[in-house]
């Protein structure tokens, strides 16, 4: 029987969970980690790497390693967010013919949806291996402030990965589901979700098994990646001041700086000072250069204070939309890795006038909540109802280029709204419906989700025809729009396909291509995992053999050399069976070398020597 899983598709890390026996549980990776890095890498041979293995090779292969792709999904190339990302990411972000975003890897262009699908496919495979059955459906979470284009693009990514996306739910809402699963008391909860790339805040009313979202707000381009970048910029400036060398054009150095920045940021959530040391960061005529700097929590807070302050207005806006004051909130739940930062916790305390609840793991709570929603749909979890809201207003362009709203932001979904319009010209035979999403009064300042025409309107003076427009938002937040001429009954409707999404033909082509190459891709992925393990063992065994190899007899020395040579060939080869055999032999070599390392000739005593000692004692 196929199962439904819950997925938190994060900017930095992902989490996948499932309901077992009416209880949600996180599915770990093969390495035992409960989260998977949202990273996709490509080797020089074109092999695809996902997760931790891709993140490990990012330092040596930054231009072919893609991270934070969630920041690009569902956006146009010319958007301010994408242009900002172009200045931060080491990989190439390009523009497609229709203005969509593409990422160029090894002379091939990929859409953000395709790369997100690679990550989702890895999570699907993890779940299937853990559960021992097929996984065909999923609940996928998105930031509450994602617009229709970004939600549609996320659904497309799920389809490409071979998943039927049963529902898209907002990340703060998922967190609240996990948080309130065992608590039946009536209360108001604020979910403060500051992750790797996005910030959301939602106000929910929980009571009698009903989770009702009252309001939501946020910023889809604010997260841990921005905090890391501030540290990187500081390191670049400090190093240039000390050495006179500008590292901005060195992609390898920048990737090392980014990893060091993320590590230092995490450490400063627990410590007041940390050391950042990067030996051989570069070299000049005088020789190699090393970076060694101390970073204090106080300095970090000074660098990122404005980023933290950007979370305040959305929080107050969400409270206003919910029609309540901060002191009416009973609990504040922290979600997302960046929410662990002491300055963030202090800011939350100041905004809401209370200590935030930190009982839930901020890295896992969204994935668990997604699994809870899957459990509700499958009937494994009963007596829970989720009522979500739309994050932005929806409407259409009317006369004079104005934006007329049909559905106000923070309306509970699913919902439907109708409004009747008329023509602006005599004998007008058709009208164009330009579907918009946003909050600005001028149509051009909002996002166009799609356009369609209603044709065949009966000739009549302007103002006479009656055209009824209906907006319908389903439980996923996906928009359906229809227009009907009330006099003739003629109707036209669309499921809004965002202009920054993939076409149906492109999606079908990608899915078919994946099926054709499924077995080859599986072998490549398996070879990549094996090769990574071989490389790690090979390096450690070579080092140990160089130090302790002379203590082995000649026969064992020759065996170790043979295995190490085979391992070198396996790393450069394409055979899964050969790599598997070599990995097993490397394990044997590791044991041989471990035994010789543990051998101490000063305490070793042969049986013959022991017998001599016994004879001496008896004599």
Q: pLDDT digit string (tens) for 414-426?
A: 888 999 998 888 8
Q: Which two tokens stand for residue 504?
A: 């149906």
**pLDDT given for residue 244 in this prediction:** 93
**pLDDT given for residue 615 in this prediction:** 39
Highest mean pLDDT among 85-89, 137-141, 563-567: 137-141
Over the stretch 15-68, which tens digit does the pLDDT of each residue have? 999 999 888 999 998 878 999 999 999 988 778 899 998 998 888 889 999 999
Let me know: does 387 contact 196? Beta carbons within 8 Å.
no
pLDDT average, residue stretch 551-570? 87
**pLDDT given for residue 137 in this prediction:** 95
pLDDT above 90 for 572: no
**pLDDT given for residue 604 in this prediction:** 40
Cβ-in-10-Å burial (0-12, 13-18, 19+) of 104 comes to middle
Q: Which residues, 6+ apart, have CB-to-CB distance to 472 below 8 Å?
A: 414, 415, 416, 479, 480, 481, 482
In angstroms, how far is the first alpha carbon of the chain from the final one?
Answer: 78
pLDDT average, residue stretch 502-529? 71
**pLDDT given for residue 63 in this prediction:** 92
Residue with tokens 């609940």: 139
Question: What residues act catalytically?
Answer: 8, 70, 171, 193
Over the stretch 63-97, which tens digit does the pLDDT of each residue have? 999 999 999 999 999 999 999 999 889 899 999 98
Give CA–CA dist 390/439, Å, rounded: 12
pLDDT above 70 for 118: yes
Q: Which two tokens stand for residue 523?
A: 């072998």
Over the stretch 282-300, which tens digit does the pLDDT of each residue have? 988 888 999 999 999 999 9
Range scoring the smallest mean pLDDT among 38-42, 88-92, 110-114, 497-501: 497-501
Cβ-in-10-Å burial (0-12, 13-18, 19+) of 590 comes to middle
Let me know: does 353 contact 330? Beta carbons within 8 Å.
no
Task: Locate all alpha helices (DSSP H) within 244-380, ordered by sequence.
Answer: 251-267, 297-309, 312-322, 342-352, 365-378
pLDDT band at 352; cut points 50, 70, 90? very high
pLDDT band at 238; cut points 50, 70, 90? very high
Give CA–CA dist 237/295, Å, rounded: 13
Let me know: does 389 contact 414? Beta carbons within 8 Å.
no
pLDDT band at 1; cut points 50, 70, 90? low
């Amino acid at each position: 029987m196929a199962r439904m899983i819950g997925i938190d598709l994060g900017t930095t890390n992902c989490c996948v969970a499932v309901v077992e026996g009416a209880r949600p549980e996180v599915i770990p990776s093969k390495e035992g980690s409960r989260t998977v890095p949202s990273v996709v890498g490509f080797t020089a041979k074109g092999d695809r790497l996902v997760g931790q293995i891709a993140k490990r090779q990012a330092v040596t292969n930054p231009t072919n390693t893609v991270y934070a792709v969630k920041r690009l999904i569902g956006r146009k190339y010319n958007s301010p967010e994408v242009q900002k990302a172009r200045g931060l990411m080491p990989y190439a972000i390009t523009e497609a013919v229709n203005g969509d975003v593409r990422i160029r890897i090894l002379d091939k262009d990929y859409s953000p949806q395709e790369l997100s699908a690679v990550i989702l496919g890895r999570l699907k495979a993890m779940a299937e291996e853990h559960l021992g059955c097929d996984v065909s459906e999923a609940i996928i979470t998105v930031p509450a402030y994602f617009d229709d284009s970004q939600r549609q693009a996320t659904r497309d990514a799920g389809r490409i990965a071979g998943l039927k996306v049963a529902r898209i739910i907002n990340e703060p809402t998922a967190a609240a589901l996990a948080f309130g699963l065992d608590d039946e008391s009536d209360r108001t909860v604020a979910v403060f979700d500051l992750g790797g790339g996005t910030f959301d805040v939602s106000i929910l009313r929980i009571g009698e098994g009903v989770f009702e979202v009252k309001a939501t707000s946020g910023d889809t381009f604010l997260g841990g990646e921005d905090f890391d970048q501030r540290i990187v910029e500081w390191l670049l400036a400090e190093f240039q001041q000390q050495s006179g060398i500008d590292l901005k054009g060195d992609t390898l150095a920048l990737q090392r700086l980014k990893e060091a920045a993320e590590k230092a940021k995490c450490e400063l959530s627990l410590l007041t000072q940390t050391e950042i040391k990067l030996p051989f960061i570069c070299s000049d005529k005088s020789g190699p250069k090393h970076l060694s700097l101390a970073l204090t929590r106080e300095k970090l807070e000074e660098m990122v204070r404005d980023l933290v302050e950007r979370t305040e207005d959305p929080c107050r806006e969400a409270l206003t939309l919910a029609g309540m004051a901060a002191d009416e909130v009973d609990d504040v739940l922290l979600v997302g890795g960046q929410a662990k930062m002491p300055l963030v916790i202090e800011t939350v305390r100041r905004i809401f006038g209370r200590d935030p609840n930190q009982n839930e793991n901020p890295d896992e709570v969204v994935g668990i909540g997604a699994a809870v929603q899957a459990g509700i749909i499958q009937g494994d979890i009963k007596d829970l109802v989720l009522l979500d809201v739309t994050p932005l207003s929806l409407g259409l362009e009317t006369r004079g280029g104005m934006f007329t709203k049909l559905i106000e932001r923070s309306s509970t979904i699913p919902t439907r709204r109708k409004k009747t319009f008329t023509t602006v010209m005599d004998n007008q035979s058709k009208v164009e419906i330009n579907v918009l999403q946003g909050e600005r009064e001028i149509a051009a300042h909002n996002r166009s989700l799609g356009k369609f025409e209603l044709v065949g309107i009966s000739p009549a003076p302007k103002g006479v025809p009656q055209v009824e427009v209906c907006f319908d938002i389903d439980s996923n937040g996906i928009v359906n729009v229809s227009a009907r001429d009330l006099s003739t009954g003629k109707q036209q409707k669309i499921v809004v396909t965002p202009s920054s999404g993939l076409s149906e033909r492109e999606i079908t082509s990608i899915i078919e291509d994946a099926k054709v190459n499924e077995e080859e891709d599986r072998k490549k992925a398996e070879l990549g995992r094996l090769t990574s393990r071989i490389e790690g063992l090979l390096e450690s065994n070579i080092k140990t053999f160089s130090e302790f190899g002379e203590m082995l007899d000649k026969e064992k020395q020759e065996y170790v050399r043979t295995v190490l040579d085979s391992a070198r060939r396996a790393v450069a080869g394409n055979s899964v069976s050969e790599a598997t055999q070599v990995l097993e032999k490397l394990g044997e070599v590791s044991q041989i070398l471990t035994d010789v390392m543990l051998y101490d000739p000063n305490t070793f005593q042969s049986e013959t020597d022991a017998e001599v000692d016994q004879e001496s004692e008896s004599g």
